[in-house]
Amino acid sequence: MTAEFTALRQARRPQGRPTPDDFRFYEGKTPELEPGQILVANSYLSVDPYHREFMDEGGWEKGLGLEGRALGTVIESREPAFPEGTVVFHRHGWATHAVLGAEDKPRVVEAPAGVPLSTYLSLLGGTGMTAYVGLVRIARLQPGEDVFVSGAAGGVGTAVAQIARVLGARRIVGSAGSAAKVAQLTGVLGFDAAFNYRDGSPAELLARAAPEGVDVFFDNVGGDHLEAGIAALRHHGRIAWCGAVAQYDDPANPPAAPRNLYDVVHKALRLEGFLVRDHLDVREEFEAFLTPRIASGEIVPAETVVDGFENTVTAFLGMLKGENVGKMLVRL
Ligand SMILES: NC(=O)c1ccc[n+]([C@@H]2O[C@H](COP(=O)([O-])OP(=O)(O)OC[C@H]3O[C@@H](n4cnc5c(N)ncnc54)[C@H](OP(=O)(O)O)[C@@H]3O)[C@@H](O)[C@H]2O)c1
């Protein structure tokens, strides 16, 4: 059996903010399967800030399209471990179909009752695991401590607040790029205070939102947010530096901030960058921590879901512009 597929490829390297013209759609027929291979019809795929970095680095192609985390159903199998109907997680995401072999390490996904499948690309996927690793292994958050998270309304940011609350955080403060997002952060997403970083200097806005300072800063943004976080941290505070989304469009011109880096010494802070892929051994512990809480409804994954593979680029560009609340996903 073969299937007609549509995939995305990168057409050119963007200058600054990417546009739809940087991509092209590609159609074809999947090849006949070889022994050990499976044919998967994708049902969800993930668009992520790291794809913006791939656009400059090259080597993004994978399988029929571009690399991206995805969930799909096996529709033909020549591998007994993955019979037809099995739901799998894999990384050949930016295409309607995927042809996978053992080298692609597909993983069987069996979502328990009460846990929506999409969660395996959001709170129970790399996004939630990044939040968990940053809080537990890097910042070593303790009960009663106060937290500031930048990029708070995004996939990682919303997961940080949910996980920090369960870990016993006292006050959780977030920053995001619009008044509507700030209202959602404090209204429904569990934050105690929040500010719109477009309203002024993040350092001044944070000083108002967290006048007594914080113990942990989970930074997704970098630049002036990092400077603000350093200023707000108490003695022996910790920074889990997760990302720098403010500078992905123009990596050759990094921001001048933080200008207060020496305060890391002055306040005996610990600033540690991390990559979730260096912590894959945490998965079992992480799933045991979160799955029952999602199944019981104690934690509700925050997601923005865009329908239709043809809208993948729109979803990706929208995520970079901040059109998402929670993890941005595409449903096929
Ligand atoms: N270290 C790791 O292993 C690891 C793993 C996963 C993700 N990450 C990082 O975690 C961060 C969040 O990733 P995510 O997948 O959860 O994406 P996300 O936060 O859901 O989406 C990106 C968000 O970035 C914000 N943004 C865009 N330009 C900005 C700017 N100039 N200044 C401030 N905010 C800006 C937008 O929200 P606003 O409306 O608020 O601007 C947008 O919603 C990224 O930095 C990513 O690279 C790191």
CATH assignment at residue 318: 3.90.180.10
CB distance 99 to ligand 1 below 6 Å: no
Q: What is the mean pLDDT of residues 17-33?
A: 97
Classify residue 199: in a domain, yes or no: yes
- For tokens 């005996």, the residue is 268
Residue 252 banded pLDDT, cuts 50, 70, 90: confident
Residue 214 banded pLDDT, cuts 50, 70, 90: very high
Average pLDDT, the chain: 97
CB distance 153 to ligand 1 below 6 Å: yes
Ligand 1 centroid – CA 325 distance (Å): 11
Classify residue 295: in a domain, yes or no: no
CB distance 157 to ligand 1 below 6 Å: yes
Task: Pinpoint the alpha helices (H) of the chain.
Answer: 49-57, 126-133, 155-166, 179-187, 202-209, 224-232, 263-266, 283-295, 312-321
Classify residue 286: in a domain, yes or no: no
- For tokens 């996904």, the residue is 109
CB distance 79 to ligand 1 below 6 Å: no
Classify residue 213: in a domain, yes or no: yes
Alpha-carbon distance 243 to 49, whole Å? 9
pLDDT recorded at residue 277? 97
**Is 109 found in the same domain as 24?**
yes
Higher local confidence (pLDDT), 225 or 251: 225
pLDDT recorded at residue 251? 84
pLDDT recorded at residue 1? 84
pLDDT recorded at residue 229? 98
pLDDT recorded at residue 59? 86
Classify residue 314: in a domain, yes or no: yes
- 276 φ, ψ to 5°? -60, -30
Structure token digits, residue 268: 């005996």
Q: Is 59 left (phi over 0), alpha (psi -120 to 50) or beta?
A: left
**Is 90 found in the same domain as 115?**
yes
Residue 250 banded pLDDT, cuts 50, 70, 90: confident
Measured from the CA of 50, which atom of ligand 1 is nearest?
47
Ligand 1 centroid – CA 220 distance (Å): 6
**Is 66 found in the same domain as 111?**
yes
172-188 per-position pLDDT tens digit: 999 999 999 999 999 99
Residue nearest ligand 1's atom 28 by CA: 246
Contact 117, 45 (CB under 8 A): no
Classify residue 174: in a domain, yes or no: yes
98-113 per-position pLDDT tens digit: 999 999 999 999 999 9
**Is 139 found in the same domain as 242?**
yes
**Is 252 found in the same domain as 157?**
yes
Q: What is the mean pLDDT of residues 224-233?
A: 98
**Is 267 found in the same domain as 153?**
yes
CB distance 46 to ligand 1 below 6 Å: no
Alpha-carbon distance 175 to 190, whole Å? 13
105-143 per-position pLDDT tens digit: 999 999 999 999 999 999 999 999 999 999 999 999 999
- Residue where one domain finishes, among candidates 260, 277, 294: 277
CB distance 291 to ligand 1 below 6 Å: no
Measured from the CA of 152, which atom of ligand 1 is nearest?
40
**Is 324 found in the same domain as 228?**
no
**Is 181 found in the same domain as 229?**
yes
- Give the CATH number, domain containing residue 268: 3.40.50.720
**Is 273 found in the same domain as 131?**
yes
265-288 per-position pLDDT tens digit: 999 999 999 999 999 999 999 999
pLDDT recorded at residue 293? 98
Spatial strand order of the sheet with 147-149 comes to 193-196, 172-176, 147-149, 214-219, 233-241, 270-273
Classify residue 288: in a domain, yes or no: no
**Is 159 found in the same domain as 22?**
no
**Integer Rg of the chain from CA:** 20
Among 103-112, 246-255, 316-325, the range scoring the smallest mean pLDDT is 246-255
**Is 141 found in the same domain as 261?**
yes
CB distance 54 to ligand 1 below 6 Å: no
Name the residue range of residue 196's domain: 126-277
Domain count of the chain? 2
**Is 190 found in the same domain as 143?**
yes
Residue 245 banded pLDDT, cuts 50, 70, 90: very high
Q: In testing the pocket of ligand 1, which one of 162, 220, 248, 272 has its CB within 8 Å of the most ligand atoms?
A: 220
Classify residue 292: in a domain, yes or no: no
User: What pTM does this model have?
Assistant: 0.98
Give me the percent of the chain exceeding a pLDDT of 90: 96
Residue 190 banded pLDDT, cuts 50, 70, 90: very high
